[in-house]
Amino acid sequence: MCGILAIIGKKDLESAKKLSKRMSHRGPDESGIVQFDNGYILTHERLSIMDLTTGRQPIKGTNNAYVVHNGEIYNYMHLRNTKLADHQFHTTCDSEVIVHLYEKYGYDFCNELDGDWAFVIVDGDKFMASRDPIGVKPFYYGKDAEGNLYFSSEMKTMSDQCEWFEAFPPGHYYSGDTGLVKYYTPKYHDYRQCTENADLKKIRHFLTEATKKRLMSDVPLGVLLSGGLDSSLISSITKRLMRGTDQKLHSFSVGLNKDVPDMVAARKVADFIGTIHHDVTFTIEEGIAAIEKIIWHLESYDVTTIRASTPMYFLSKYITDMGIKVVLSGEGADEIFGGYLYFHNAPSAEEFTKETIRRVSLLSTADCLRADKSTMAHGLEVRVPFLDRYFLDAVMNIKGEDKQPDRSTGKPEKYILRAAFDDKNDPYLPAEILWRQKEQFSDGVGYSWIDSLVAHCNAKVSDAEFAEAAKRFPHNTPATKEAFYFRTIFEKYYPSESAAKSVLKWIPKWQKNEDPSGRANEVHEKTIEKV
């Protein structure tokens, strides 16, 4: 993983270098830059994970095309051995297949890739930019007053350069010849096509395969283990895939103290599956003191994103200080299976299905953004098996009736996911973890984290200031003093209208209030037994 910046136009090389260095935290290992005869510039801040010796970017293709890429292409060896068998490669880096696919197929090749990416190719006066189907990797684009186009992993490289900029839409590519083109059109984008019965064996198979491919690394990797269902399953699957090897697996959890819900559950899982486990703690004072820096990294003022990113920020520093560069995590399962507690209140199976599709389509603005930017603040790459495109094909087409929780019968959220891994002969997890109720990450690290943060923000914002919220922030007007406080910090670093409009707020549906904390939902902490 890394940070990329492309300027399509004419820009001073030294200025481009300085802009790229604004995201040097994404690539602390080395930098690369190429300026072409027409003035176009590609820059790369590298976190070395694959091909440590020859994988420096930008990477040149067979002819004159170059690529910069942030992410991982998991089927790169398959592509090299099949569709690109007639091409000569200069590195063993997964990124190189991108430029060779471009040379062979032109712009229409993104569906050949299995992975997570943001990339830009420059080929003379032609160029191409693309983002992975779900938006696991962050990507922005914009235009300055001189007409130069910018493409970058983070908005901080372009926020004071461009007249307008916005998040690059997931599942699209862009070129000067075609404009913006949607290449990712899965069946489940039409909710009426989601009619399949749940196949538990299929769910288990595709999630295992999605996890297996994400173990690809030339450096040590670990797992984020909150103690919730999703991260616990990924940790257990990862440990199973390492059976018969001498590999050690490190797991990590974070909280205000070792007695908070997540850390207690995480230790149970770690003991059960046999990881080398690390409890990481932070104080409320440390969390509040880091908020400003975290908002700068996140490039967001969304309340739930900031609440949840703070513990992840401290956890990531601990992990990178250990020398680990890659971790697997459980993001995406709640959107796919309707795991948030507000899904209990869905009025029908059809509305439930529509909401899962909507939530998956918005992951790039929420959990993917949080997971990437709070970890990459310390040069740590996070991989998310639940968002594998083939796993999504297998589970997003399942009918809502099979996914929807039912309090009247005790059917919990994410029932089919739990049932798929309920192996009595060779258990994946302790039963109390496999059937544990959803606990949102910012709650599970210790309930007093959110309570104290809200109190701090309320003390920082006067009633008079908050009364002017709509006048000061007409777009996405803050509804609470906490949101107002975060917005003022965001505005200090990213004052433009484009920056404000790039952020979407995470708001639950079918709930009496808009508080994103799971504790705000009436079903929280009610006993839900296994069906």
- Of residues 268 and 31, the one with the higher pLDDT is 268
**Where along the chain do the CATH 3.60.20.10 domains lie?**
2-184
Could you write out the three-class secondary structure of 447-496? HHHHHHHHHHHHHHCCHHHHHCHHHHCCCCCCCCHHHHHHHHHHHHHCCC
Query: Measured in whole angstroms, how far is the alpha carbon of residue 371 from the centre of its chain?
Result: 5
Helix ranges restricted to H, 2-61: 13-20
Q: Does 51 score more than 60 pLDDT?
A: no
Q: Does 407 score more than 70 pLDDT?
A: yes
Instruction: For 442-479, write each residue's pLDDT tens digit.
Output: 455 667 899 999 999 999 999 999 999 999 999 999 99
Model pLDDT, residue 70: 96
- When the candidates are 2.160.10.10, 3.60.20.10, 3.40.50.300, 3.20.20.60, the CATH number that belongs to 2-184 is 3.60.20.10
Quote the CA–CA distance of 11 and 253 in Å, as a whole number. Answer: 44
**Where along the chain do the CATH 3.40.50.620 domains lie?**
189-520
If you ran DSSP here, which 8-state letter would residue 172 be given?
Answer: E
Q: Does 501 score more than 60 pLDDT?
A: yes
Tell me the average pLDDT across 294-323: 96
pLDDT above 90 as % of the chain: 83
Which amino acid is located at 26 in the chain?
R
Lowest mean pLDDT among 145-149, 210-214, 220-224, 506-510: 506-510
Q: Does 1 score more than 70 pLDDT?
A: no
The CA–CA distances, whole Å, from 22 to 4, 60, 296, 389, 488 equal: 11, 25, 11, 31, 21
Supply the CATH classification number for the domain 189-520. Answer: 3.40.50.620
Tell me the average pLDDT across 496-518: 84
Catalytic annotation, residues: 2
Instruction: For 244-294, write each residue's pLDDT tens digit.
Output: 888 899 999 999 998 888 899 999 999 999 999 999 999 999 999 999 999
Instruction: For 192-211, write each residue's pLDDT tens digit.
Output: 999 999 999 999 999 999 99
- Of residues 522 and 384, the one with the higher pLDDT is 384
Residues belonging to the chain: 531
Alpha-carbon dihedral sign for residues 71, 314, 255, 405: negative
Residues 6+ away with beta carbon under 8 Å from 38: 10, 124, 125
